[in-house]
Structure 1
Amino acid sequence: MNSIVTYRYDKKVINNIKGWQYGNNWPIVYIYYNDKKAYVGETLDAVRRTEQHIKEPEFDDFKYICLISNKTFNKSVVLDLESFLIKYMGADGKRKLINGNAGVVDHNYFYKEAYEDDFKAIWQYLLDTGVVQNSLFDIENSELFKYSPYKTLNKEQFDAVHQILNDLSDINNATSQSIIQVSGGAGTGKTILAVYLVKLLTDIKNKKDAWKYIDDPEEAEYVKWLSQKLGSINNIGFVVPMKQLRTTMKKIFKTIDGLSEKMIYAPEEVTDKYFDLLVVDEAHRLYKRNCLTSADLYITFDEINRKMMAEHFTGTENDLTELDWIIRSSRMQVLFYDEKQAIRSTDIGRTRYEKICKNHIYKYIELFSQMRCKGGNGYYEYIRDVLFKPNMNITKYKKIEDYDLKVVDSMQQLETMLSEKNSEYDLCKLLAGPAWSKNEPIIVDSRQYHWVDKKDDDSCIYSIHKIQGFDLNYAGVIFGNEVFYDDKKQSIEIENSHVKDVRTKRDGELEMRNYILNIYLTLMTRGIKGTYIYAVDEKLRKYLKLFLNQQNGD
């Protein structure tokens, strides 16, 4: 049975805590709060920790302290509960959380699953008493939760953060090797890691002594050491190439203690300043001067390149790219990259990307664990093989556990299934590739739809440009008539005449195929719980069913 008590944070607070059954020498979690802000912590001794906080000026403004424990709690449980509350309160929005995010990591321990109901009951108590304002369901479907710097990291991500910080300490004020590249497929948590890193480095810059409140001596010493080594990294920028995701990130940064929407930049915006560090999300979507989407972009490109290149300026695609601008505008760069998510001729492309980075790379870090799709690590690789590899046969079939994956026979069936899931989970959307232009109606199976740009309703469809970088609970993916299955080649091929996005065609047939299949690979990794698929081409539908629908006997 959970014991939860709340005391006014005044002169009587120490005596009140001493009178509580878990006040001395017992693992507890606590929440300091007032009308505007909150702080979550854990300790093995509530009295001792409160006496420590009383001496800290940053705690003077709090009005209340809420203490939570249970006779079955141990150190592992309170670490997990602390991470749980930080993660959800950070995205709840009622009070700004002032915690740092050092050490917010997923904890495994004996009988962990048994405490899930306790944690939910604790959240319900906080909801009923007005400490928080949103249900767990609503928070989990919010953008702030999905990209919160307080998300708990898995071991691979946590190790990657440590590696990045160690590497930054090595190259800070050092050599011309300034790039740390973090690679990973769709759903491996690159954006979450990028946001986490920016928050942690900003807290270090702002001299938030988070290490004082980490009970693990080894971790506390490590964070203290980092604060000393990385404190000179003052001017930090977060570059987000895609407009839709950049808008979302600005909203999120505005709500996070220590962060600001002014830290978010489009690639062209960094050229007027010089940064200690630029963290770049979705670096595979950085542009070269080729097939740009508007005349204004060409003007911007040429203005920046005239300034940077002087007499070497040519006004062609051989001029500097957005990646070049980033390197020239900062001492150090952390690039989050996935070559399989380059989708247009405007994107720099792997060969040129690697050529630009070659003389600047200090360290490569790779992420493998699938963090989005419940299908796990094997799902992404399997879907990639099904889409890209020729001569696939039934012997290559793989059952995807714990993931709702199905190819359907009609748009009506796809709509019905997705609508049912949306009623249950919310955030279930139709997605499609480049078989329709921006301004034409989308007609599939005699049913008419429109891009989400026109109107967000039950008939809207999201393009790759609106959904890349975002998560859904379920995705309904429509393979348009630009994609078909070729019996002779025994592979998925592209019908050039049906591709309406000219920016996928510029680099030739082979690159066009790669771009478009990259689009569908990305669309098929948006759904956390499941993906439903409809293909206009009947042969493609039959092929996908063979590998994606559950086989008899499974």
Structure 2
Amino acid sequence: MHKNILLKNQKGYQKNITNYNYMIVYQSNKKGFIEDVISNEIDTKIKEAYIKQIGRRPSDSEANSWSNSMLHMNNVLLDNEIDNDLGVSIEFQIPMTSKRIDFILTGIGEDLRDKVVVIELKQWQHVQLTDKDAMVKTKYGFGTKETVHPSYQAWTYALLLENYNSTIQDYNIELVPCAYLHNYSDDGIITNQFYQEYIEKAPLFFKNDSHKLRSFIKDHLKKGDKNEILYKIEHGRIRPSKHLADTISEMIKGNTSFLMIDEQKLVFETAIKMCNNSLHNGEKKVLIVEGGPGTGKSVVAVNLLSEFTKRELLAKYISKNAAPREVYASKLSGSFKKSFINNLFGGSGAFYDIENNIFDVLIVDEAHRLNLKSGLYQNIGENQISEIIDAAKFSIFFIDNDQRIHVSDIGSKEYISQIAKQKGISSYNLKLESQFRCNGSDGYLAWLDNMLQIRETANFRLSSEDYDFKIFEDPKALLDAIKEKNKINNESRMVAGYCWDWKSKKDNNQYDVVIDEFDFRMKWNLTEDGSKWIISEKSIDQIGCIHTCQGLELDYVGVIVGNDISYNNGLVITDVTKRSTNDMSVKGLRTKVKIDDDEGIKNAERIIKNTYRTLMTRGIKGCYVYFCDNNLKEYFYQNISTSKAVESIRTDIHDVRIEKEVAEWVKYVDYLPFYSVKAACGNFGEGEIVNEEGWVKVEGFGKLNRNMFVVRAKGNSMQPKICDGELCVFRTNVVGSRNGKIVLVKHESLNDPDYGSYTIKLYKSEKTGDKIIDSEWYHQNIILEPLNKEYNKILLNEYDTYVVVGEFCGVVDSVK
């Protein structure tokens, strides 16, 4: 078992250090091992120790492999030049995992350093080449499956030990990995140049290579294990190596993808403090961080992983979906390929047989995707949330309840809190709200929720000021637009709802997403790219699904909305029967819907709507969409503010020239800067650095100054005073009452049909005589009132946070 020791480092923060007794099924020296093999007792001893250590009987294939492999290893070690005191260990379990190293030899090298030879044993006789890095296909049971190359496996197992065992780090113990395929005759496939990088790190030995492996052992291990090397390793504490901590810290440093701002920093610091308190007091704690798409959940998660690792805490980033962790590991690894960085990232199904509190911290991203059970057939373990909480002294769950897109998803803020409470563990909730995706527009997200009828919001119409959202009549034109955007930085992709079968997976000549009306044909994402599809350069020619992009972001996303969602009689309707039968995320729901099972109908609706909500929020700068259902397309069209001219009450609007540049000496003397409404609000309302779009000559406004600017009005809500398309002068930083004045206001929850989160309206305040603060009237309600009575008033209460960006000075007349 393990014990916890409380230490304080130079910086003064508390940390727990875990001492862990590594499980070893069999341990002896070379002489004892050979005697056990010759007396035919080796497999019995391994089997008995396995049952005692693991608590279950080994499978027949596992037991047979011991009998076979140990005979071959015995033949290798039958050499008088190999010291009888070499340490021999079989089935050495790697900490934090259920993985075991097959065979270990320990001794002293020629340079008198302690050395460990790690040997991965394989019964294989044939493999098939793949086009995936470090992957081969080989026979398992009655079929074949993809698995890692044995050299890669041996190398990474050794690297995992090296990066997390304090004894190996402190005593500079050298680990030497290799693989022995004692039934395999080299056919040139497993030694293909494609795998050479890993073979150089961990040499391969084959059926006729027992003498070569014997020489390899003699080259590295000159004397027996007098220093009890494995005993020291076995009792070494688990901690991340300094090299590992420094590397991930340097990779995040200066990488703008992982910069934290505002409440992201608040969550980060709160998590650090909670972790310190938890480790210091010995009390487990759970932190739940809720946030919508683009609020920075993953940014905070990766920064926490770096910080905890730097503090020598045993931390790991966890996600159910492989795509986020594969992409983040790839972004962090830089020039490293399949490097030790991968050890910091793991799946959510690996904790069912992990010892309690073995990790200091587990950081769970996309926690809404957690499942009840683990394994390919979801038949292992009991509850992933419970198992993760048990495995760590402090656990953090980043969650968005509206991104559950699979029938097996169980993660919710309420359910995680409930499990923690059942265990007597305190849980705390924080929320990330600021939007850093979708052009920073909370209005777009609220509008999308309203449009998909996920929840009713005040955002009925979307303004082009909010976000670059476009509807395409032709999917081929959509693809062309996304490809054009992708030329900029390879960060635009096509995705679709899973309404088309994955035919190309078995037949590469087939197309998957086919829309015959437009002769549109695309294939689903390439299997060779795996979870890194979204960052592969070739993937612009394929179309991704929810499973390859959830938890990740693009600059522009092109979305094909399938026939599983439509619009009729004022309702957004979902139809799970239109999903592909290949889609396991709705497995079993078709049957429930057919028999009118209420829960099944609700689950199917939730999954389909959440899927499109997730797909349509992957784009930082824009989302371009094609709808298969025409009614749904028209419904979205009707709720977008377009730039089409609206008939105006006034007809005397003159064209006003907007100069791209003017001389410095006429700026703010004869000319004022021209901005979009959104840019003006950013510049004058929030202090952002925004470049003007041009300069406008103005007259009749008195002496100009740098607090004045020009924007173009949209719509007819302020007619007859301000008409659609007119250029308006505003002045910011005006002192005095605004009551009765026309103002430009920014408010994230606004839903102005013309401007979205911004509006130009008449400012009125309602005052109550019974609320007086410091002898002044207390403003209880603010009314933003249109002059055109066909438009609705906008009400703001005393708790709303809004910014009055400027006061209206007048309309610019054309200058002859």
1:182 paired to 2:289: yes
CA 1:255–1:349: 2 relative to 1, 3 Å = same
Structure showing greater Rg: 2
User: Which residue does the alignment assign to 2:385?
Assistant: 323
Cα offset for 1:542? Answer: 0.4
Cα offset for 1:97? Answer: 8.4
Return the alpha-carbon distance in structure 2 between the equivalents of residues 286 and 375 of structure 1. Answer: 28
1:403 paired to 2:485: no
Match among 362, 365, 373 for residue 278 of structure 1: 362
1:387 paired to 2:452: yes
Note the 1:245-394 alignment, pairs <5 A: 245-255=324-334, 260-270=341-351, 271-273=353-355, 274-289=358-373, 297-298=376-377, 301-302=379-380, 305=381, 320-350=382-412, 352-359=415-422, 360-389=425-454
Return the alpha-carbon distance in structure 1 between the equivalents of residues 455 and 466 of structure 2. Answer: 27
Q: Which stretches in structure 1 are left out of the alignment for 5+ residues?
A: 1-94, 105-143, 206-233, 306-319
CA 1:446–1:329: 2 relative to 1, 3 Å = same
CA 1:549–1:426: 2 relative to 1, 3 Å = farther
Task: Give a deviation string over 1:325-346, Cα, whole Å, max 9, x none.
Answer: 1111111101111111110111
User: Which residue does the alignment assign to 1:513?
Assistant: 605
Match among 623, 628, 631 for residue 539 of structure 1: 631
CA 1:513–1:462: 2 relative to 1, 3 Å = same
Return the alpha-carbon distance in structure 2 between the equivalents of residues 338 and 504 of structure 1. Answer: 19
Q: Assess if the C-alpha contact under 8 Å between 2:289 and 2:429 holds in 1.
A: yes
Cα offset for 1:379? Answer: 2.0
CA 1:515–1:175: 2 relative to 1, 3 Å = farther
AA paired with 1:197? L
CA 1:424–1:286: 2 relative to 1, 3 Å = same
User: Which residue does the alignment assign to 2:190?
Assistant: none
Note the 1:392-431 alignment, pairs <5 A: 396-401=460-465, 403-431=467-495
Return the alpha-carbon distance in structure 2 between the equivalents of residues 419 and 253 of structure 1. Answer: 26
Q: Which stretches in structure 2 are left out of the alignment for 5+ residues?
A: 1-245, 505-511, 529-537, 590-598, 645-714, 716-753, 755-816
Other structure's SS at 2:350 match: helix
Q: Assess if the C-alpha contact under 8 Å between 1:375 and 1:400 holds in 2.
A: no
CA 1:97–1:269: 2 relative to 1, 3 Å = closer
TM-score (norm 2): 0.41
Cα offset for 1:357? Answer: 3.6
Return the alpha-carbon distance in structure 1 between the equivalents of residues 631 and 579 of structure 2. Answer: 19
CA 1:174–1:256: 2 relative to 1, 3 Å = farther
User: Which residue does the alignment assign to 1:475?
Assistant: 557
Return the alpha-carbon distance in structure 2 between the equivalents of residues 243 and 97 of structure 1. Answer: 19
Cα offset for 1:550? Answer: 2.7
Other structure's SS at 1:396 match: coil
Q: Assess if the C-alpha contact under 8 Å between 1:239 and 1:279 holds in 2.
A: yes
Note the 1:49-68 alignment, pairs <5 A: none
User: Which residue does the alignment assign to 1:160?
Assistant: 267
CA 1:527–1:476: 2 relative to 1, 3 Å = same
Cα offset for 1:378? Answer: 2.2
AA paired with 2:553? D
Return the alpha-carbon distance in structure 2 between the equivalents of residues 437 and 287 of structure 1. Answer: 25
Cα offset for 1:246? Answer: 2.4
Task: Give a deviation string over 1:146-180, Cα, whole Å, max 9, x none.
Answer: 3xxxx321111112212222222232243655100
Return the alpha-carbon distance in structure 2 between the equivalents of residues 195 and 497 of structure 1. Answer: 38
AA paired with 2:314? N
Return the alpha-carbon distance in structure 2 between the equivalents of residues 173 and 465 of structure 1. Answer: 39
Return the alpha-carbon distance in structure 2 between the equivalents of residues 424 and 369 of structure 1. Answer: 27
Identity %: 26
Cα offset for 1:479? Answer: 0.6
Q: Assess if the C-alpha contact under 8 Å between 1:238 and 1:279 holds in 2.
A: yes
Q: Assess if the C-alpha contact under 8 Å between 2:316 and 2:344 holds in 1.
A: yes
AA paired with 2:443? G
Other structure's SS at 1:450 match: strand
User: Which residue does the alignment assign to 1:452?
Assistant: 525
AA paired with 1:204? R
AA paired with 1:325? E
Other structure's SS at 2:572 match: strand
User: Which residue does the alignment assign to 1:242?
Assistant: 321
TM-score (norm 1): 0.60
Note the 1:111-190 alignment, pairs <5 A: 146=257, 151-174=258-281, 178-190=285-297
Q: Assess if the C-alpha contact under 8 Å between 1:198 and 1:279 holds in 2.
A: yes
Return the alpha-carbon distance in structure 2 between the equivalents of residues 297 and 180 of structure 1. Answer: 29
Task: Give a deviation string over 1:477-506, Cα, whole Å, max 9, x none.
Answer: 11101110021xx12111232022253253
1:524 paired to 2:524: no
AA paired with 2:419? I
Other structure's SS at 1:415 match: helix
Return the alpha-carbon distance in structure 2 between the equivalents of residues 333 and 540 of structure 1. Answer: 42
Other structure's SS at 1:528 match: strand
CA 1:238–1:96: 2 relative to 1, 3 Å = closer
AA paired with 2:487? S
Return the alpha-carbon distance in structure 2 between the equivalents of residues 438 and 370 of structure 1. Answer: 34
C-alpha RMSD of matched pairs (Å): 3.0
Return the alpha-carbon distance in structure 1 between the equivalents of residues 324 and 298 of structure 2. Answer: 10
CA 1:495–1:203: 2 relative to 1, 3 Å = same
Other structure's SS at 1:250 match: helix
Q: Assess if the C-alpha contact under 8 Å between 2:248 and 2:306 holds in 1.
A: no
Return the alpha-carbon distance in structure 2 between the equivalents of residues 266 and 346 of structure 1. Answer: 15
Other structure's SS at 1:406 match: strand
